[in-house]
């Protein structure tokens, strides 16, 4: 059994990963600034040790850093400004969190002999012809993707015989999480299929994406917590590659009244990539949940009220972070207090 530090543990992926680690007997400590609250980590049994901190502040204070890493065997590093639009809001913040703090945390782990598993993204491939594997060229088109490439490259350079970090380049996630996100394409379509029957497709929808259920992604992290990587440092983690426009047929099997609405964009999204998952499968990782099953799960969570107010900007990272910025919420402790208050009134079943 390992003692695992999950950074960003209160996020969409972390909130699905942590229970899986607990069930398998691992002890979990989470460090998360709490942009989206941390209350949903509190009721877990056995309990999660919760550090409600900005990872940058912890790294700046050697005593705090020692406290955060005390007795830890593996760090699963998820904390990030976690999508393109929120990364563009404040490119400097993205650089600080997604690269500089990540780099410093990795080095602190290397110095202490702690294993390090990093949540990267298939968006590093940007616009790639054909199926791209882990040796394929990166082509980051956004601030977010550049921050992930920088960190991937740093970790590859740092890997040696004594310290072998693991880099998981995840596809676009979907599915239910106790900390929901409605800014990921399948989750957005699920929301629209549940409430409006209209699926807004930006551009022509011909862009390829690799998709992965959030629980399958969490299982991949569990795999590497329990099985240190052997032959490779970097893995594409995805299940189905699909064009956005092809999702429509899947949603029409869930709600036959769904119609696509094509929205023209001034600056069309040129990201277009589909990935090889041969390396992941050779390592023994087999995703289990397909798009239809995961989408239906969310549609029903909305229809039954399990997700109480899906319209809220709280579930849309860029809109929510922009709102926080406009509130002048630079004092993160004050911000966290405000989130607690909101969580106390939020119905999450």
Residue 222 φ then ψ, to 5°: -60, -45
Residue with Cβ nearer ligand NAD (103 or 261): 103
Least distance (Å) from ligand NAD to the CB of residue 289? 14
Least distance (Å) from ligand NAD to the CB of residue 45? 21
Which helix (H) or strand (E) segment holds residue 5: the answer is: strand 3-7
- Its sign, for the CA torsion 132, 134, 138, 143, is positive
- Nearest residue to ligand NAD, by Cβ distance, number only: 11
Residue with Cβ nearer ligand NAD (12 or 182): 12
CA Rg value for the chain: 19
* Residues near ligand NAD (CB under 6 A): 8, 10-14, 31-36, 54-56, 78-80, 82, 97, 119, 121, 170, 172-173, 179, 181, 184, 317
Least distance (Å) from ligand NAD to the CB of residue 256? 28
Whether residue 94 contacts residue 87, with contact meaning beta carbons closer than 8 Å, is answered with yes
Residue with Cβ nearer ligand NAD (35 or 176): 35
Least distance (Å) from ligand NAD to the CB of residue 257? 27
Whether residue 242 contacts residue 211, with contact meaning beta carbons closer than 8 Å, is answered with yes
Least distance (Å) from ligand NAD to the CB of residue 220? 11
* The two structure tokens encoding residue 14: 């972390």
Going across the sheet that includes 208-213, the strands are 172-174, 208-213, 240-243
Mutual angle of helices 247-254 and 291-303, in 10-degree steps? 50
> What ranges in the chain are assigned the alpha helix state H?
14-23, 55-59, 62-69, 84-89, 91-94, 102-112, 143-158, 185-195, 214-226, 247-254, 278-282, 291-303, 317-326, 332-345
Residue 27 φ then ψ, to 5°: -95, 140
Residue with Cβ nearer ligand NAD (91 or 252): 91
Residue with Cβ nearer ligand NAD (8 or 294): 8
* The two structure tokens encoding residue 190: 């699920």
Alpha carbon of 263 to those of 200, 257, 269: distances in Å?
7, 19, 12
Residue with Cβ nearer ligand NAD (175 or 260): 175
Residues designated catalytic:
144
Least distance (Å) from ligand NAD to the CB of residue 22? 17
């Amino acid at each position: 059994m390992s003692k695992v530090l999950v950074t960003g543990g209160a996020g969409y992926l972390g909130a699905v990963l942590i229970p899986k680690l607990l069930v398998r007997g691992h002890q979990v400590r989470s460090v998360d600034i709490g942009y989206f609250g941390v209350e949903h980590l509190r009721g877990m049994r056995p309990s999660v040790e919760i550090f409600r901190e900005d990872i940058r502040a912890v790294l700046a204070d050697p005593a705090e850093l020692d406290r955060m890493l005390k007795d830890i065997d593996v760090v699963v590093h998820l904390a990030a400004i976690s999508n393109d639009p929120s990364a563009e809001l404040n490119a400097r913040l993205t650089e600080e969190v997604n690269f500089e703090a990540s780099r410093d945390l990795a080095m602190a782990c290397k110095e202490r002999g702690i294993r390090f598993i990093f949540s990267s993204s298939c968006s590093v491939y940007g616009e790639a012809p054909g199926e791209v594997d882990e040796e394929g060229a990166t082509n980051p088109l956004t601030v977010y993707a550049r921050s992930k490439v920088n960190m991937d490259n740093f970790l590859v350079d740092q890997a040696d015989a004594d310290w072998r970090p693991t880099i998981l380049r995840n596809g676009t996630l979907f599915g239910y999480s106790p900390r929901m996100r409605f800014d990921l394409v399948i989750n957005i379509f699920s929301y629209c299929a549940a409430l409006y029957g209209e699926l807004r497709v930006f551009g022509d929808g011909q862009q390829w994406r690799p998709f992965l259920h959030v629980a399958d992604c969490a299982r991949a992290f569990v795999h590497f917590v329990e099985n240190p990587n052997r032959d490779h440092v970097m893995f594409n983690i995805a299940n189905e590659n699909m064009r956005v426009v092809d999702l429509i047929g899947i949603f029409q099997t869930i709600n036959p009244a769904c119609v696509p609405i094509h929205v023209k964009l001034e600056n069309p999204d040129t990201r277009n990539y589909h990935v090889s998952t041969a390396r992941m499968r050779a390592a023994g990782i087999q995703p289990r949940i397909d798009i239809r099953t995961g989408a239906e799960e969310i549609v029903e969570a909305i229809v039954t009220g399990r997700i109480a107010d899906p319209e809220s900007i709280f579930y849309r990272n860029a809109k929510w972070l922009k709102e926080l910025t406009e509130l002048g919420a630079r004092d993160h402790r004050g911000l966290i207090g405000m989130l607690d208050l909101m969580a106390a009134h939020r119905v999450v079943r």
